[in-house]
Amino acid sequence: MAIQETAVSYYGLGYVEHAAADFEEIRAHHCTTVILAVTEFEFDFWRPNLPAVVAAARRAGLKVLLDPWGIGKFFGGEQVSLFLQNNLENRQVSALTDEKLNAACFNTPAFRDYFMHFCLTLLREAGADGFFWDEPHYLLPKSYASITGGAGDDWSCRCPVCRKKFADYYGYEMPKLLTDDVKQFRWREALEILEETSRRIKVFDPAQEITICVHATLNTYYVTEQRGYDDWERVAASPYFDVFSTTIVSWELPEPFFRSIAERTAAVAKKYNKQSERWLMGYYRQPDDFAQIDRMTDLYESLGIDRLAAWTYRGGFGTRLAAPDALGLWDCIGRNYKRILKR
Nearest to 141 by CA among 96, 189, 188: 96
Q: Which range binds Zn ion by CB under 5 A, 56-64, 156-164, 262-270, 297-305? A: 156-164
Taking the complex as a whole, how short is the minimal distance between the CB of residue 136 and Zn ion, in angstroms? 14
CA pair distance 38, 65, nearest whole angstrom:
10
Taking only Cα atoms into account, the Rg of the chain, rounded to an integer number of angstroms, comes to 20
Taking the complex as a whole, how short is the minimal distance between the CB of residue 107 and Zn ion, in angstroms? 5
Q: Which of 7, 157, 174, 235 binds Zn ion (CB under 5 A)?
A: 157
Taking the complex as a whole, how short is the minimal distance between the CB of residue 162 and Zn ion, in angstroms? 3
Taking the complex as a whole, how short is the minimal distance between the CB of residue 330 and Zn ion, in angstroms? 39
- Three-state DSSP state, 10: strand
Which pairs from 252-258 meet CB under 8 Å and 24+ separation? Answer: 252/285, 253/147, 255/292, 255/295, 255/296, 255/299, 257/147, 258/296, 258/299
What burial letters (b/e) apply to 312-338, b meaning 16+ CB within 10 Å? Answer: bbbbbeeeeebbeebeebbebbbbbbe
Q: Which lies closer to Zn ion via its Cβ, residue 89 or residue 298?
A: 89
Judge whether 93 and 28 are in contact, CB under 8 Å.
no
CA pair distance 303, 292, nearest whole angstrom:
16
Measure the CA dihedral 324/14/124/115, to 10°.
60
Q: Which range binds Zn ion by CB under 5 A, 160-168, 247-255, 267-275, 330-338? A: 160-168
Q: Which range binds Zn ion by CB under 5 A, 109-117, 161-169, 284-292, 313-321? A: 161-169
- Three-state DSSP state, 272: coil
Taking the complex as a whole, how short is the minimal distance between the CB of residue 179 and Zn ion, in angstroms? 16
Q: Which of 50, 159, 236, 296 binds Zn ion (CB under 5 A)?
A: 159
Q: Which range binds Zn ion by CB under 5 A, 159-167, 176-184, 200-208, 265-273? A: 159-167
Q: Which lies closer to Zn ion via its Cβ, residue 97 or residue 302?
A: 97
Interface size with Zn ion, residues (CB under 5 A): 5
Q: Which lies closer to Zn ion via its Cβ, residue 130 or residue 228?
A: 228
Taking the complex as a whole, how short is the minimal distance between the CB of residue 29 and Zn ion, in angstroms? 41
Taking the complex as a whole, how short is the minimal distance between the CB of residue 288 and Zn ion, in angstroms? 42
CA pair distance 278, 332, nearest whole angstrom:
17
What ranges in the chain are assigned the alpha helix state H?
16-28, 40-45, 50-59, 82-86, 109-126, 160-170, 180-204, 232-236, 255-271, 291-302, 326-341
Q: Indicate whether 162 belongs to the interface with Zn ion (CB under 5 A).
A: yes
**Neighbouring residues of 179: CB distance < 8 A, sequence distance ≥ 6:** none
Taking the complex as a whole, how short is the minimal distance between the CB of residue 230 and Zn ion, in angstroms? 18
Q: Which lies closer to Zn ion via its Cβ, residue 156 or residue 247?
A: 156
Q: Which range binds Zn ion by CB under 5 A, 155-163, 207-215, 264-272, 294-302? A: 155-163
Q: Which lies closer to Zn ion via its Cβ, residue 23 or residue 185?
A: 185
51 prior amide bond cis, ω within 30: no
Q: Which lies closer to Zn ion via its Cβ, residue 157 or residue 216?
A: 157
Site string for Zn ion, 84-123 (x = CB under 5 A): ---------------------x-x----------------
State the residues that interact with Zn ion by CB under 5 A: 105, 107, 157, 159, 162
